[in-house]
Structure 1
Amino acid sequence: MTTMVEQSPLSTAEIRLLDAHWRAANYLSVGQIYLLDNPLLAEPLRPEHVKPRLLGHWGTTPGLNFLYTHLNRVIKVRDLDMVYVLGPGHGGPAAVANAWLEGTYSEVYPAVPRDTEGMRRLFRQFSFPGGIPSHVAPEVPGSFHEGGELGYALVHAYGAAFDNPGLVVACVVGDGEAETGPLAASWHSTRFLDPVRDGAVLPILHLNGYKIANPALLARIPEDDLIRLFEGYGHKPYLVDCDDPATAHQRMAATMDRALDDIELIQREARLGTRTGDAPLRWPMIIMRSPKGWTGPKEVDGKPVEGTWRAHQVPFGDVRTNPGHLADLESWMRGYRPGELFDADGRPVPELLTLPPEGDRRMSANPHANGGLLRRDLVLPDFRGYGVAVKEPGTCTDEATRVLGTFLRDVIRANPDNFRITGPDETASNRLGAVFEATGKAWQAGLLPTDENLAADGRVMEILSEHLCQGWLEGYLLTGRHGLFTCYEAFIHIVDAMFNQHAKWLGTCREIPWRRPISSLNYLLTSHVWRQDHNGFSHQDPGFLDVVVNKKAEVVRIYLPPDANSLLYVADRCLRSVGNVNVVVAGKQPALNWMSMDEAVLHCTRGLGIWPWASTDGGAEPDVVLACAGDVPTLETVAAAALLREHFPELRVRLINVVDLMRLPPESEHPHGLPDSEFDALFTTDKPIIFAFHGYPWLIHRLAYRRHGHGNMHVRGYKEEGTTTTPFDMVMLNDLDRYHLVIDVIDHVPRLGGRASYVRQHMVDERLRQHAHTREYGEDAPAVRDWTWPC
């Protein structure tokens, strides 16, 4: 069992330099939390030098600075290409301090130079109105991991390492974050990392003992159990005890050297094919123990602080009004000996500048942390060549996602190191099995003769954790690559919070000039609400669309292609886009095709439009508008149009299909929004609109409430009625079926009057008959199940 490395690789001069750099980073970190002015303590500290609101997290920060300092040493000695992921994301002062020390901060923000005035601005802006957040946000150079929510650091690190054979991702995992479900699952990523083609992740579990107010679990379990836990995850743990600063630098330097030697050996043997034996790979990791709030106040007002939960945020908060606390703050900051670290003009002394690497080797300037700099466009085959032949609308069927699978197969072939598909054990279930003609599923664990499609270099990443699927892909995209996340629609909710954070990241990056756009995060949601007849109620939930619409309009896009050819167009469009979150909802079951490829291109380019072949208004003012969005709602709407044509041949019906859901709000609310004049011309301002929607009905009202004709809009959609039943019974349960849509037309077109009573009763009776048929025979009646458009 490997735990501690007992070597002393550092000279006295090296220790002195490391310690000076660490002290400088700590000084800058404390200054960010506390000071408005007097950054170098050139005069005695006065209350007006201190911020009125003290915000930030000190407890984790000195450990992050210590690790950053030591990682700089090994980068320079070994000429490493390395990025730094801070799992304790609220340790933002550490990332900012080190970026400023390295010069990167001043390069991207010239108004914050490396001098006294720059230091004052650096301090003032932190957690201050008009400034920067307290966590590791997009504004921080060198960051690609949002620190606002815990749980995703390690999975982002592995996503960054995939297909980056020369990259080392140093990832600090806080002991509080380690308790989250996504982080706990992320340790399994060792079984998906290919030492030949991928880079390496060096996890550093930082045990400082406490969270906000409670002990951290992993800091309290017996050491032998802790070591065995991580060995079981596929790691070779090294333990570094940093309680004593006098020995901490030697121990950490020796341990980092050993861990990086291990990584180099694993990769060299794998790439040369010289590894012997069949024992599983064990990648190194470091477990670092240090006091929470290390080097900070030992106690405040007679209560212990360093090494306790009291150090988590601000060790003392009433500095402006409490002279004792003001004196304690000044003593604390002067204890770092800033006069040895910065010259009279506030510049780091020359010795400090010799520790960090230069140029892109600086972790704060590494282009992988600004992935748009490295992004290459995908090589995409012409999606038109994968389309299905459609001679007449609504007369032939295909499985839309199966057709898409052939396109994705060739996307993988054309981009062997730049594109991945992630999903929770559902690629084949979602009818994308054609991709396995081009690649396997990434797998570094044991194999059995019954296994299929597993490969060490697979481009498909499957694990039964939506968190890992999303996190791997986010890390991959954030470092400049492309991908697709496929998932059952109901269970994409598991990553609601991850989506929120990524969308916020993208929204913020749009406001930062030096951030280059990255590839869009693309979701394909299938096995959707209307075709979950065998799984039933638990698998029926289209509400992710509602979550997505909450985010900034510049970022989010939602597409509901009604057939196979439109899905191909939408997929191509999403894979070409940058800076967005694209959500595509498409069924995997056999469904009618409505458009030829040429028609699909025109229709999807518009985002919505009239289907003349299903309409009877003849270009005149309609009596009623039938609108639909989603494959099953489209089927039911077109079938309702056929019934209306049969029973009310004189009724002028206009049928509008919506592919791009964000065409519904005005252009003032979303970049894709239709101008009011175009919306009014399509939907009218005074005629009833019967809208069949894939999701919850209120989402359409929310998007269209500013429109002139919104008061005439009546939306049918999922209303939380479901069970294990037939496809048509499912739409009837939610009043989305063709018969109910006809009833809605009768009820909202006044001129039909009493003469429509017999037809209305006939529609009610048909619903009853169809319901009874499912209960007797266990399937939908052939007239519904096999319905096609009557050409």
Structure 2
Amino acid sequence: MSNNALPLSAVELGRIDAWWRAANYLSVGQIYLLDNPLLKAPLCLEHIKPRLLGHWGTTPGLNFIYAHMNRVIRRDDLDMIYLAGPGHGGPALVASTWLEGSYSEFYPNVSRDEEGMRRLFRQFSFPGGIPSHVAPETPGSIHEGGELGYALVHAYGAVFDNPELIACCVVGDGEAETGPLAAAWHSNKFLNPVTDGAVLPILHLNGYKIANPAVLARISHEELEQLFRGYGYTPYFVAGDDPAQMHQDMAAAVDAVVAEIRTIQRTARAGGSDPLRPRWPMIILRSPKGWTGPRSVDGKQTEGSWRSHQVPLSDMASKPEHVRLLQDWMESYRPGELFDAAGAPVAEIAALAPVGERRMGANPHANGGLRLRELRLPDYRDYAVAVARPGQDDAEATRVLGSFLRDVIVHNPDNFRVFGPDETASNRLGALFEVTDRAWMAERLEGDDHLAPDGRVMEVLSEHLCQGWLEGYLLTGRHGFFSCYEAFIHIIDSMFNQHAKWLKVTSREIPWRRPIASLNYLLTSHVWRQDHNGFSHQDPGFIDHVVNKKADIIRVYLPPDANTLLAVADHCLRSRNDINVIVAGKQPAPQWLSMDAAVKHCSTGIGIWEWASNDWQNGGGEAGVDQASEPDIVMACCGDVPTLETLAAVALLRELAPDLRVRVINVVDLMTLQPREEHPHGLTDKDFDALFTRDRPILFAYHGYPWLIHRLAYRRSNHANLHVRGYKEEGTTTTPFDMVVLNDLDRFHLVSDVMDRVPKMRARAPHIKQAMRDRLVEHKEYIERHGEDMPAIRDWKWPW
């Protein structure tokens, strides 16, 4: 920026510089000190933490930006949140929120005085304290900074349908090298200046990562500018290392971008027609890594070098000269000018802080549960598929769900969106386009399908962006739904991890964090109906990944038909602080339960399907109570295709072995299989035994990898008799039924499994198993000749 105009008066310059020095002082203290927070005595080893953990290099830049955002928030009464993308920048946000007072309001024991400062320092990266990154414990944060790449996409998610909000998003130059961040720059093609807020990206180039130079810091100014103009931004550059000049240049840049944002919004909102996509402003800030820290340590350059990335001064016990260097470093900020005798920030610093909820640490958008409005949900029963008799008619479960979601959008036009990677229509949710379009601010051509600036469907061919937008949307108090092909949801495994960790900490350990709407996944185009796309599209393993997380947070549902899917979806949209994974097929499939039956079934998540069982016919008492009425075999199923194959196997068993007593159990809520002590939805041992018996064989047909069922049920009394069939990594381009045959999940294999496990069938087992082998040979010959499944398979109906 030019230094011809000086936007800051001497008073303003003094306030900003004082804040910055104070935040830097507090940040260094957090990394190093246990005691002596105001340096009232000469530093000695006893004042210093025995284990030095933290990241200094990015911190002064984050403090610098925070100070400048405070000025314009206070001046213009801006509604702004702060997202710190650089990893482990926690000291900066903790320091600034303590200076503004919001930290002490959330944590009264960390008061704004000398004792509070001592606690502030001691808790950082210390047992029983707080993490080194910007974590859920940090006031004002919606972004978990432990993993890089997601800050910008979270920022855009936060401002969708938040027309007055500005998300100041600092992108570190290391983070800028990640794939998700590179894609996130394109979020500006989805931001509607009429109904959405604004993102102010600040690319902070301090030159280095842990040990290597950063790519964007080592390309020419011209190339860097062209890159971001190509992304659709107007970049403003601020560069240097002289604090006074940098403050003036940064203030000028911030004034320019805020004015530009307001002009873009004012023009669009006064237009009355489809707004044109604006070129949004951004700032590229170049400052030294570890700015204001030790210039050199042990004769090696530190400030402006990768050596300042983490802890510039270490080995305190073996290098006592480092203790003196630390004291010199902290005293260089002139703490006597920054804090009064009691340890509180001086009035000059307090004068820069915004007031009340305008403080970025106290902004209610960053504690989204404060702003959460209940969804107005239509009655899901109104969308029911008529089921007069089980298994007689087919329906596409997700198409039925699409009509329900369509009306959710109608009733909630500004706080509910559907996200997905270019698959909304493919996943049979096309009813959404009866009432809305795909959000799109880029160029539109004649013949495009349902594109509009105000669309409520967020489609982009990046699972990372869909996930990140949705997370930002939820964390700021709205609701959403993410549909994806089952195999490719793995792309966001790590993002799921971070959100699950956030929810675990916020829901159990941070009472001031209010509950937010749950993260809802619909996984469709699933493993058993990817026969046409082949092996690359066949993977049900996301469930296994999800189940690793805390039971308080995760829920997994596998509804077997459309009516159960409706009941599950309604429940998930009403839930809070959960991650709900729903797996449901989109292809025509048999419908088993009426809506009344589906509601009852889903209310417990597991149950005996009496209409498919015959064990109750052969005893004197209620099933599971009278020993005479115990089944010979329990046939359990979880998932739409396993349910179909189980019922087809049961039908064969009734034909071939009519005296065999079979109990059919369907599982909708996978977590019911865990003991109640391990998951809140788990069955008690008594209830589990009543369903599955204590000593009878159990044949379980499962949607995913078989070992997960064993893992969930290994503590149950009858686990030794549990045999699970599921996906065993066999797949190719073939027919739908051949997919289940390849994995031994088909009806013929299931019948043979029963023969192997029921002692009373020993005499007839060889004949029945031979008949099943013959059916499998017939199947193989038929599909190789005709290219489709046999009519007896394709057209099968439940016969009773």
Q: What is the TM-score when the length of structure 2 is the normalising length?
A: 0.98
From 512, 515, 529, give the equivalent of 2:513: 515
1:297 aligns with 2:306: no
The aligned runs of 1:650-661 (5 Å cut-off) are: 650-661=659-670
Residue 711 and residue 274 in structure 1: after superposition, are their counterparts in 2 closer, same or farther (change >3 A)?
closer
Residue 283 and residue 418 in structure 1: after superposition, are their counterparts in 2 closer, same or farther (change >3 A)?
same
Larger displacement relative to structure 2 (386-395 or 756-765): 756-765
Residue 737 and residue 347 in structure 1: after superposition, are their counterparts in 2 closer, same or farther (change >3 A)?
same
Any conservation in 1 of the 2:487–2:526 contact (CA below 8 Å)? yes
Any conservation in 2 of the 1:47–1:321 contact (CA below 8 Å)? no
SS of the residue aligned with 2:282? strand
Q: Deviations over 1:639-682 (max 9, x none)?
A: 00101111111111000000000000000000000000000000
Q: Which residue of 2 aligns with 1:746?
A: 755
Quote the offset at 1:7 in angstroms.
Answer: 2.8
Quote the offset at 1:5 in angstroms.
Answer: 8.0
SS of the residue aligned with 2:367? helix
1:313 aligns with 2:310: yes
Tell me the amino acid that sits aligned with residue 62 of structure 2: L
Q: Which residue of 2 aligns with 1:198?
A: 196
Tell me the amino acid that sits aligned with residue 408 of structure 1: L
1:761 aligns with 2:770: yes
Q: Deviations over 1:128-165 (max 9, x none)?
A: 00000000000011101000100000000000000000
CA distance in 1, matches of 2:244, 2:673: 65
CA distance in 1, matches of 2:240, 2:592: 67
1:691 aligns with 2:689: no
Quote the offset at 1:768 in angstroms.
Answer: 1.3
Residue 734 and residue 277 in structure 1: after superposition, are their counterparts in 2 closer, same or farther (change >3 A)?
closer
From 381, 388, 391, give the equivalent of 1:391: 388
Quote the offset at 1:352 in angstroms.
Answer: 1.1
Any conservation in 2 of the 1:48–1:320 contact (CA below 8 Å)? no
Q: Which residue of 2 aligns with 1:241?
A: 239
SS of the residue aligned with 2:185? helix
Tell me the amino acid that sits aligned with residue 772 of structure 1: E
From 777, 781, 786, give the equivalent of 1:777: 786
1:704 aligns with 2:713: yes
Tell me the amino acid that sits aligned with residue 756 of structure 1: A
The aligned runs of 1:317-336 (5 Å cut-off) are: 317-336=314-333
The aligned runs of 1:70-81 (5 Å cut-off) are: 70-81=68-79
Any conservation in 2 of the 1:563–1:631 contact (CA below 8 Å)? yes
Any conservation in 2 of the 1:4–1:239 contact (CA below 8 Å)? no
CA distance in 1, matches of 2:708, 2:778: 31
CA distance in 2, matches of 1:616, 1:135: 59
Q: Which residue of 2 aligns with 1:166?
A: 164
Unpaired stretches in structure 1, ≥5 consecutive residues: none
Task: Tell me the number of residue pairs that the alignment of Structure 1 and Structure 2 aligns.
Answer: 788
Q: Which residue of 2 aligns with 1:231?
A: 229
CA distance in 2, matches of 1:260, 1:327: 43
1:665 aligns with 2:674: yes
Residue 479 and residue 277 in structure 1: after superposition, are their counterparts in 2 closer, same or farther (change >3 A)?
closer
Q: Which residue of 2 aligns with 1:568?
A: 566
Quote the offset at 1:274 in angstroms.
Answer: 7.7
Any conservation in 2 of the 1:50–1:320 contact (CA below 8 Å)? no
CA distance in 1, matches of 2:240, 2:498: 33
Q: Deviations over 1:447-471 (max 9, x none)?
A: 1111010010000000000000000
Any conservation in 2 of the 1:6–1:254 contact (CA below 8 Å)? no
Any conservation in 1 of the 2:560–2:584 contact (CA below 8 Å)? yes
From 278, 281, 285, give the equivalent of 2:282: 285
Q: Which residue of 1 aligns with 2:28?
A: 30
Any conservation in 1 of the 2:459–2:466 contact (CA below 8 Å)? yes
Q: Which residue of 2 aligns with 1:405?
A: 402
The aligned runs of 1:611-650 (5 Å cut-off) are: 611-618=609-616, 619=623, 620-650=629-659
The aligned runs of 1:489-504 (5 Å cut-off) are: 489-504=486-501
CA distance in 1, matches of 2:728, 2:489: 19
Unpaired stretches in structure 2, ≥5 consecutive residues: 617-622, 624-628
The aligned runs of 1:2-13 (5 Å cut-off) are: 7-13=5-11
From 376, 379, 389, give the equivalent of 1:382: 379
CA distance in 2, matches of 1:673, 1:715: 19
Tell me the amino acid that sits aligned with residue 733 of structure 1: L
Q: Which residue of 2 aligns with 1:734?
A: 743
Residue 589 and residue 274 in structure 1: after superposition, are their counterparts in 2 closer, same or farther (change >3 A)?
closer
CA distance in 2, matches of 1:470, 1:651: 49
CA distance in 1, matches of 2:204, 2:273: 31
SS of the residue aligned with 1:468? helix
Any conservation in 2 of the 1:26–1:62 contact (CA below 8 Å)? yes
CA distance in 1, matches of 2:220, 2:790: 64
1:150 aligns with 2:159: no
Q: Deviations over 1:362-383 (max 9, x none)?
A: 0000000000000001000000
Any conservation in 2 of the 1:6–1:251 contact (CA below 8 Å)? no
Any conservation in 2 of the 1:529–1:542 contact (CA below 8 Å)? yes
Larger displacement relative to structure 2 (404-413 or 4-13): 4-13
Residue 6 and residue 423 in structure 1: after superposition, are their counterparts in 2 closer, same or farther (change >3 A)?
farther
Q: Which residue of 1 aligns with 2:691?
A: 682
Any conservation in 1 of the 2:391–2:592 contact (CA below 8 Å)? yes
SS of the residue aligned with 2:181? helix
CA distance in 2, matches of 1:377, 1:703: 33
SS of the residue aligned with 1:754? coil
CA distance in 2, matches of 1:300, 1:372: 46
SS of the residue aligned with 1:627? strand
From 344, 363, 367, give the equivalent of 1:370: 367
Tell me the amino acid that sits aligned with residue 728 of structure 1: F
SS of the residue aligned with 1:515? coil
CA distance in 1, matches of 2:545, 2:220: 42
Q: Deviations over 1:381-406 (max 9, x none)?
A: 00000011000000000000000000
Any conservation in 1 of the 2:3–2:248 contact (CA below 8 Å)? no
CA distance in 2, matches of 1:375, 1:415: 12
Tell me the amino acid that sits aligned with residue 754 of structure 2: V
CA distance in 2, matches of 1:493, 1:291: 37
Any conservation in 1 of the 2:275–2:453 contact (CA below 8 Å)? no
Larger displacement relative to structure 2 (292-301 or 12-21): 12-21
CA distance in 1, matches of 2:2, 2:413: 40
Quote the offset at 1:320 in angstroms.
Answer: 3.0
Q: What is the TM-score when the length of structure 1 is the normalising length?
A: 0.99
CA distance in 2, matches of 1:743, 1:687: 17
Quote the offset at 1:4 in angstroms.
Answer: 6.2
CA distance in 1, matches of 2:12, 2:322: 35
Tell me the amino acid that sits aligned with residue 686 of structure 1: D
SS of the residue aligned with 1:291? coil
The aligned runs of 1:95-244 (5 Å cut-off) are: 95-244=93-242
CA distance in 2, matches of 1:240, 1:349: 29
Quote the offset at 1:232 in angstroms.
Answer: 1.1
CA distance in 1, matches of 2:690, 2:3: 75
Residue 275 and residue 383 in structure 1: after superposition, are their counterparts in 2 closer, same or farther (change >3 A)?
closer
CA distance in 2, matches of 1:379, 1:485: 19
Any conservation in 1 of the 2:417–2:457 contact (CA below 8 Å)? yes
From 259, 270, 290, give the equivalent of 1:272: 270
From 350, 358, 361, give the equivalent of 1:361: 358
1:424 aligns with 2:433: no
Any conservation in 2 of the 1:47–1:319 contact (CA below 8 Å)? yes
Q: Deviations over 1:271-311 (max 9, x none)?
A: 00089996x42000000000000000000000000001000
Q: Which residue of 2 aligns with 1:594?
A: 592
Residue 38 and residue 693 in structure 1: after superposition, are their counterparts in 2 closer, same or farther (change >3 A)?
same
Quote the offset at 1:757 in angstroms.
Answer: 1.3
Tell me the amino acid that sits aligned with residue 790 of structure 2: A
Quote the offset at 1:753 in angstroms.
Answer: 0.8
Percent sequence identity over aligned pairs? 70
